[in-house]
């Protein structure tokens, strides 16, 4: 049986963006962002994953199919993945998912990857804001 992911509504958010964050660098940057009381756009819903290498193209496409207008992955800098090569796999999967989307007429920029160090809270915020801006400038994702 196929399970549908329910994406919660957020006040002031017309669009939904799912961010998959690795629990090492990206989550540390997210934590620092929260401690500094910097708010993220209301469109962002976060999913914590052990490593970006754990995110498959199916996770990305399923999030889009279940209501997200955009999906992104945030992880460690290239060469600094705590599982050695997870973020390299994630980069390949992002490219694969983008190519799949483009082949069916969906804007590939709906899916992106960002990398950052654990101390780089500004880059974490910038990634969320960039995704918010990109998705806000696109029409809602049509699913039929």
* 51 is a site residue for ligand FES (CB under 6 A): yes
* 24 is a site residue for ligand FES (CB under 6 A): yes
The CA distances from residue 12 to 5, 9, 42, 43, in Å, are: 21, 9, 7, 8
Residue of the chain from 17, 18, 22, 71 that contacts ligand FES (CB under 6 A): 22
CB of 126 to ligand FES, least distance (A): 18
Write out the binding residues for ligand FES, residues 81-110 only, by CB under 6 A. 81-83, 86-87
Q: Pick from 142, 144, 126: which is nearest to 134 by CA?
A: 126
Total residue length of the chain: 144
Q: Which is nearer to ligand FES, 43 or 115 (by Cβ)?
A: 115
Binding segment for ligand FES among 34-42, 48-56, 91-99, 104-112 (CB under 6 A)?
48-56
Determine the Cα–Cα distance for residues 37 and 65; give it in Å rounded to an integer.
Answer: 32
Residue of the chain from 53, 60, 110, 118 that contacts ligand FES (CB under 6 A): 53
Binding segment for ligand FES among 5-13, 17-25, 120-128, 129-137 (CB under 6 A)?
17-25
Determine the Cα–Cα distance for residues 80 and 91; give it in Å rounded to an integer.
Answer: 14
Determine the Cα–Cα distance for residues 25 and 59; give it in Å rounded to an integer.
Answer: 20
CB of 136 to ligand FES, least distance (A): 27
User: Torsions phi, psi of 42, nearest 5?
Assistant: -70, -10
Determine the Cα–Cα distance for residues 80 and 56; give it in Å rounded to an integer.
Answer: 20
Under the rule (CB under 6 A), what is the footprint of ligand FES?
22, 24-25, 51-53, 75-76, 81-83, 86-87
């Amino acid at each position: 049986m196929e399970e549908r992911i329910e994406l919660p509504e957020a006040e002031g958010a017309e669009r939904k963006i799912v961010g998959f964050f690795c629990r090492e660098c990206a989550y540390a940057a997210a934590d620092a962002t929260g401690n500094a009381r910097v708010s993220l756009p209301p469109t962002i819903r976060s999913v914590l994953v052990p490593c970006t290498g754990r995110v498959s193209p199916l996770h990305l496409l399923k999030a889009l199919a279940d209501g997200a207008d955009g999906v992104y992955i945030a992880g460690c800098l290239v060469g600094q993945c705590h599982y050695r090569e997870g973020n390299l796999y994630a980069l390949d999967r992002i490219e694969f998912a983008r190519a799949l989307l483009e082949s069916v007429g969906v804007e590939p920029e709906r899916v992106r990857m960002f990398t950052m160090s654990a101390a780089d809270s500004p880059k974490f915020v910038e990634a969320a804001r960039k995704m918010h801006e990109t998705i806000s400038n696109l029409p809602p994702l049509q699913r039929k």
